[in-house]
Each structure stands twice: as structure tokens, then as C-alpha cells.
A and B are shown apart, each in its own frame.
Chain A
């Protein structure tokens, strides 16, 4: 078996549909440590704060890190020294900032990269995707094929994510906390303002004196984190079936090379250690007391152990990248004129709507069955 074909069973129609990792995590302070989940704004009946829901088993479940957030944490892995060689490093120079495509929120569909000198090349690549050839896109932005992309401002080409990962905590107890800001001096004693003004301002968040730190200012019943009595778990999925839907047109050999390349990148991202630090107060590490589940899931539901290591994945990815031919790394300028033209098209396009009509005799059927 050649080194490039060692994972070909993952690309076979008879192979597993996905790889799944379920690993138990723990706050770095310990399993009963307090951690701070993501907070969400109030709206649509949601009071705001932590996203604590009830699952089908009646347990409460708290979202710690969403699929989108995990993807944004994992993708920049390919900027690191050990992995840079696997993907082209496309950097867009915009003013004083350099933005690597791997950090662009919408990946190859991001407005920033579209308004660079890569615009035509990307448009052509997305049009190729729509016509059944993902090779060109894999040369410019291969991680867009791994984490999914939607060219929302141009061709509307969409590619599903191959990797999805999220972290949730179960049976959580919500905590609150209080704090008080104590100024280092009593400014009223220094006649900066009167005692009366001080009394009015203390605890009043709207008071300029409180806002600028001149008086005591308590903050009570604020979000104080959670304790996860039911544990914290990261669920990650690598959708092998999605990789099998990638084609390099009708060329079977190129298609195989493309799929191996994307599989290699996916295996690297999938098996890499995730960043422990998610946000202030939320540093999660592996809970070594609980076994980690890493399985191949077959279409009939069977689950079999998977033994792919990160080192093996990296070696495979390197070989596959070499065989595929990694695209050229480039630094390209953001082009203001392209952006202006792009905005203009958005605005004038609305005025040029062509009204479509249905031909007579074609029925539009949407009936409620009796």
C-alpha cells in the first residue's frame, strides 16, 4: 500500500460515513471548577446570558463553544510552523493590517478577499465548483472545503463543512457574582465634588462620576459562570461522505488526489489538540478520568474504534499535499476600486430586476391534503 493510499478506505463508497470524537473536558481548576460559557444577547423572548437549554433526557445543557466558534479556532492551525506547508498562505494587505485568509470569517467567500486582486480567480474557482470541479478552489483556499464556505456576495456557491465541533456542559448550576469598585481615594474629601454628589452617584451606573471611577460602584447578580455537574464534552465530526462529493471534473486521478488532500487536511484539523483557552474564565483540558471515544461511524449506524493519530494524519497530509500540489502562497493588496465597483453592482443590480413569469398552463401546486 502506498503511503498516499493508506486512508483510501475512508474515501470508498463502502467506507465509514464519518469519524466522531467525543472527549470529556474539565476546567483547568478541576472537574468542579467554575467556568464561564459564552453569553448571548437578549431578544425574541430569550432573556440573555448563558445558553442553557433542556435536552431530550431532561438534563440541562449549556453551550460552551458553538460549531462556528470552534471552526474559527481550529482553522488558524494551518498558519503555524508545523502545518504551514500544507496550505497556501494567502494574505490580504489592507491598510495597516495583514489578514490571512485562514482568519477571514467567511473564508474564500469573505468580502475582504473578494475585493482583492484575487477576485477574478476566486470567482472562477467558485464557478468551477458549481460546474463540478473543486480543484481550483482547493489550490487557493483548501480549508474552505474543510470548514465550509458560502460565496454569499457573488456566485452563491456553497460547500458544506466537513468538520463540525462543539462543546457543551451538562447538568449545570448557574452562579452569580457580585463586585464593587472601590476608588483609591475619597474624592469628595479632596473637594472634587460634594458629599451630596457622591451619595447620588454611588451605585448609579448612569452617573458620570460612577462611570469614570470616582465613586463606589457595585455590580450585583452578574453572570458568575457555571459548575458542570454532568461534565463537559466536546463532540467533533469529520464527514467523510462530504469529501467523497468533491470532484476535479471528470478526471478520476485528479479527483482522487483532491480528495486525499482534503482528507489529509481534515484529519490534521480533526486530530489536533484544541486550544485550551476559550475565553476569560474558561480554560478546558482533557479529563483523563473519562475515556475518549474516537470511532468510525458507518451508514448502518455501526461504530468501530478509530486509531488515527495526529502524527499519522500530519504525515499523510504532507504526502497528499505534495501529490496534489499546494497552491502558491501570496500577499495580495485589497483594492478599493474593486470594493467600490462591488458595492455599486449590489445597488444597481436591484434596479435591473428582470421580472420572471410562469408560462400559462404550468400549475403551481401547494395544497394542504385533506
Chain B
């Protein structure tokens, strides 16, 4: 029966103040942070403050373990970054004033921003697979783990423990399971071969930083890796490719947001043409029809297709909402097909289908935007966020008859149809959180058509602007599109600023 080494850290108050490399709250605490805590605890436990010796083999063994699974309660980063003012260690500078009898002078204070993570539980467990169910240094690791006193800041007091557990016991642990993931997920620092040696070298440098020759700066810790971790119910990111709309002279091309459906249609048309000519290998005969064009087969329960999403510009309250970019999104796992299509669309000129789309202007080119070059607009549509708001209205799978209860049911159905299973809260309105987005109304007060032009087959359904917030501070990756028009530019969501 498989056994696992479980190193547990229990927070004695439901707060953690640890920060990641960007200075943002870090949750769960990274395996490197905990490894460093174990190393420091071992130094204290066996009073080897200058150089670790007794626990060295155990720590080397721990460093060499495959990446742990982390089981942790939900951690909600604080809404506010509160500025404390803590006294500088400069009380000696007050003495001249005191000598003159002026006792009113105060110690200078320095800013310290406090932004804790609120914990929905207290225990974080690091689960290491044991080769042959053997843990050769178990007693040493237990003693070291029980000597961990703090994790994060000095006010984050904890109690540590180490145990051998079975798979069944691990499955029963309270908390979310975080596993090493690929490109998507939360980046956490992890130890690697040489981390312990680097830590010890750093400590040696710290102890010897002052000498007769002066001061030698202590180098930072360098030997570690960054590994992305994903929570067990965290969704995978859909692959996407972004194209800028450019004129032949390279300048940006702007399309009116109200008519963004035309851009979606033209890009889709180019995709169909390109894939008819040169489809990927090993696709079915009807792949272009169903997957690229999006015509679902009758009674098909597992229909998958590309989405063509023109992106109105967003980013601040006065951003001009014209369409200057278009994104093609594939279902999870279809990155290769998307790459194949994107390479064949690069540099292509959009072809008007109605004839009047460009009002006398030259049609734009599709210029691919690399991942590294993605700008603030693209990031707002694609980076993970806990809260999402619609830029274009979400077209619901029916009419709500102006009844809120029915609206709720339709919204829930739309979320399910869009593949969103994670628990969330939502609110809706005719108006978007993005100030320059058009409302979800179809007609204005004079009964004239208003808002975004919709395809004919989506005219009768209710449309709303939606804000979705995922429970437990789940970070949902973009791109995200919800509702009946989610493949042609409706229900496109972005992280509200």
C-alpha cells in the first residue's frame, strides 16, 4: 500500500502574510518557503546555528523528493493594503532633543504595507510520495517539523508536524488539493537539487559579511525553480491566438464595436477557407463543417468548435471601445489545431461578405500577436481572475419574460452550457461594468434598434450584462465567453478594473 510523507503546518491564527516575488499575497505557501522553514527549524532544534550537520542527510533527502501535492484551505487575499507606520530603529537620534528638554519628539516611522491572506481553515499539508513506502529519515524530519514556529512573517505563528499517511488518509484531509501543473496555474517556488547547498552558502555569507576588509553583500537565494500549481477544481485555460487588425501601412485598424459580429464572421470565413484547403492531419471529413464553421451535428452531445471573438478595447474608463483585435479560441487540448489555423491566417486580408463592412476603406490584415507581446487589453481578457464582467452582452438561452427568477435559471443554464461548473455568484443588469460598452437593450426608447448588431437567430433571446465572481477566491483563467453568442463575439468577459 502506497505511503506518503506529510509535513503539516498549522496556522495558529487564520491569517498568512507571506508574499510572492511580486509582493502580492502568496497562497498556498510555496514548497520552497516550507523547505526553508524546515531547514531553519533543524538548525534551531539541534543548535547548529552556523552550519547544519545532524539533519543534513535528511534535508538533502527531502530536497530530492519529487514535487509535493499541497492540501490547503482556501486563502482569500485581503481586499485592502493597509499602511502601517512602524518605528524606525533610530531612537538615538532623539537624544539631542531630549537633552534640551524637548520630550515631544517622536521616533521616525517607516511605512509597512500589510495585506494578509484570510484562511478558511488552518492546516496546510505537503504530501511527498515515498519510494517503496520508505521514509529513511522520518524521526529527524518529525523533530524538525515540530520545531517550525513561524511561516511567512514573524506574526504568522504555526505548529508543524510530520507523519506517514496512506492514500486514503490523504484523501480525507480537509482542503483543496494543489498539484503541479503545466502552463496554467499559480507559480510557486520549489526547491531543487542544490537549494540546500545554496541556503547554507547564503547563511555562511551572512555570518561572514562583516570582516576586516569591510562589508560583503549577502547574495540572494538563486537555486530554486518556479513550478505552477493548480487547484483540483481550477479550470484549464483554453488555448487562444490573438490577431491585431492592421492597415497595409502598419497602422492600427479600428472597427465600430456595434458591428463586431461582422469581424467575427469574416475571420470565421477565412478560417473555413484556409482549413478546407489545408486541414490538419487526421481530422474527420466533417471537421471543417463542425469544428471550424461550428455547425453542430444533430443530437451531438460532445460538439466542439472554435470561437471567433472580436475584442473591444478596454483598460480604463475612457478607453475607446473600437475593435482593433480579434481572438480565436479553441477548446481545451486543441492547441495544435489552433496553431495550424493561426499560421495560415497570419497576414491574410479580411474579405467583406456583405460588401459594406468597411465603408470604402481597405480591409485590414490579420497580424498575429505573440504571447510575449500581449498588451493590457489582451491581458484583461485572458489572465486569471476571480471576478469577470461582460464587455459584450451575454445572450441567454431563452427569454426571461421580465421575470428575475427566470433570468436566474437562464443565466445558470448559460453558465453550464459554456462549461462553467465551478461555484460562483453572479449579478446582472442591462449595463456593463465597462463604461463604454453598449447596453444589452435591443431597442431604445423610440423603438429603434440599438446596442450590438446580433445574428438573426439570436434576436429573440434576452441579453444581459453579467458579473460573475467565483467562490473561494478561485482564479478562473481567460478567455471566457458565455451564452448563446459565445462563439461569435457575444458574452465576452474581461476582468473589471
Per the bound structure, the CA–CA distance linking A349 and B224 in Å amounts to 31
B248: Cβ under 8 A from any A Cβ? no
A99 to B94, CA, bound (A): 12
Which residues of the partner chain B approach A131 to less than 8 Å between Cβ atoms?
A: 49-50
Q: Is B177 an interface residue (CB 8 A)?
A: no
Does A354 contact B160, Cβ atoms closer than 8 Å? no
Question: In whole angstroms, how far apart are the Cα atoms of A83 and B114 in the complex?
Answer: 34
Q: Nearest Cβ in chain A — how far from B76, in angstroms?
A: 5
Which A residues, 186 to 218, have Cβ-Cβ distances below 8 Å to chain B?
Answer: none
Set of chain B residues within 8 Å of A364, measured between Cβ atoms = 222-223
Q: Could you say which residues of chain A place their CB within 8 Å of the CB of B143?
A: 13
Complex: how many Å from CA A166 to CA B157? 12
A50 → chain B closest CB, angstroms: 9
Task: Give Cα distance in the complex from A104 to B88, angstroms.
Answer: 12
Residue of A nearest to B190 (CB): A369
Q: How large, as a class, is the contact surface on chain B?
A: 35 or more
Measured between beta carbons, the chain A residues less than 8 angstroms from B84 are 40, 66, 68
Q: Which residue of B lies closest to A57 (CB)?
A: B120
* Cβ 8 A contact of A237, one of B92, B157, B163, B207: B157
Does B192 interact with chain A (Cβ within 8 Å)?
Answer: yes
Q: Are B98 and A96 in contact (CB under 8 A)?
A: yes
Q: Which of A227-245 contact B (CB under 8 A)?
A: 235, 237, 239, 241-242, 244-245
Distance between Cα atoms of A349 and B310 in the complex (Å): 59
Roughly how many angstroms separate A339 CA and B93 CA in the complex, as a whole number? 8
Q: Are B13 and A237 in contact (CB under 8 A)?
A: yes
Would A239 and B157 count as touching, CB distance under 8 A? yes
* CB pair B217 A353 closer than 8 Å: yes
Smallest Cβ-Cβ distance to A348: which chain B residue: B214
Chain B residues near A136 (CB-CB < 8 A): none
Asked whether, in the complex, the Cβ of A241 is within 8 Å of the Cβ of B146, the reply is yes
Cα A104 to Cα B91 with chains together (Å): 8
Contact call A114/B92, Cβ cutoff below 8 A: yes
Max chain A Cβ within 10 angstroms of own Cβ: one of B146, B207, B216: B146
List of B residues within 8 angstroms of A97 by Cβ: 98, 103
> B92 touching A342 by the CB < 8 A rule?
yes
Partner-binding segment picked from A156-164, A281-289, A322-330: A156-164
Residues 189-238 (chain B) with a chain A CB within 8 angstroms:
192, 194, 205-207, 211, 213-217, 219, 222-228
> What's the nearest-Cβ distance from chain A to residue B217, in Å?
7
Q: Flag if B95 contacts A94 (CB, 8 Å).
A: yes
Give A131 to B49 CA distance when docked, in angstroms. Answer: 6
| Measured CA separation A130–B95 after assembly (Å) | 30
Alpha-carbon gap, A18 to B150, bound state (A): 12
Cβ of A53 < 8 Å from any Cβ of B?
yes
Q: How far is the CB of B28 from chain A (nearest CB, A)?
A: 13
- Whether B222 and A130, one on each chain, are in contact in the complex, defined by CB atoms closer than 8 angstroms, is no
CB distance from A113 to the nearest CB of B (A): 8
Q: Are B81 and A45 in contact (CB under 8 A)?
A: yes
Q: How distant is the Cα of A55 from the Cα of B12 in the complex, in angstroms?
A: 15
Stretch of B40-48, B274-282, B328-336, B443-451 on the interface side: B40-48
Interface segment among A171-179, A269-277, A294-302: the answer is A294-302
Q: Mark out the residues of chain A between 127 and 171 whose CB falls within 8 Å of any chain B CB in the assembled complex.
A: 129-132, 148, 152-153, 156, 160-161, 164, 166
Binary contact track B96-117/A, C-beta < 8 Å → 1, others 0: 1111110100010001011010
Q: Is the Cβ of B111 less than 8 Å from the Cβ of A43?
A: yes
Q: Does A334 have its Cβ within 8 Å of any Cβ on chain B?
A: yes
Which residues A80-110 have CB closer than 8 A to chain B? 94-97, 99, 104-106, 109-110
Which residue of chain B lies nearest to A354 when distances are taken between CB atoms in the complex? B216
| Nearest A residue (CB) for B13 | A235
- Report yes or no: A336 in contact with B14, Cβ–Cβ below 8 A: no
User: A42-B83, A112-B91 are contacts. A160–B150 as well, Cβ < 8 Å?
Assistant: yes
Q: CB distance A40 to B83 under 8 Å?
A: yes
| C-alpha gap A250/B48 in the complex (Å) | 10
Query: B80 touching A46 by the CB < 8 A rule?
Result: yes
Which residues in B have some Cβ–Cβ distance to A below 8 Å?
Answer: 8, 10, 12-14, 41, 44-45, 47-50, 73-76, 78-87, 89-101, 103, 107, 111, 113-114, 116, 118-120, 122-123, 143, 145-150, 154-155, 157, 159-161, 163, 180, 182-183, 187, 192, 194, 205-207, 211, 213-217, 219, 222-228
Contact sample, A vs B, 15 pairs, CB 8 Å cutoff? A44-B81, A57-B120, A63-B82, A95-B100, A99-B91, A106-B89, A111-B89, A132-B48, A160-B149, A161-B157, A241-B148, A245-B41, A300-B8, A365-B223, A370-B183
Closest 7 CB pairs of A and B: A352-B214, A95-B99, A17-B159, A245-B44, A95-B98, A299-B161, A56-B120
Given A95-B101, A245-B149, 20 more contacts at CB 8 Å?
A18-B157, A55-B118, A97-B103, A111-B89, A129-B49, A130-B50, A164-B12, A166-B155, A237-B157, A299-B10, A299-B160, A301-B159, A334-B92, A352-B215, A353-B217, A354-B215, A356-B205, A365-B222, A365-B224, A369-B228
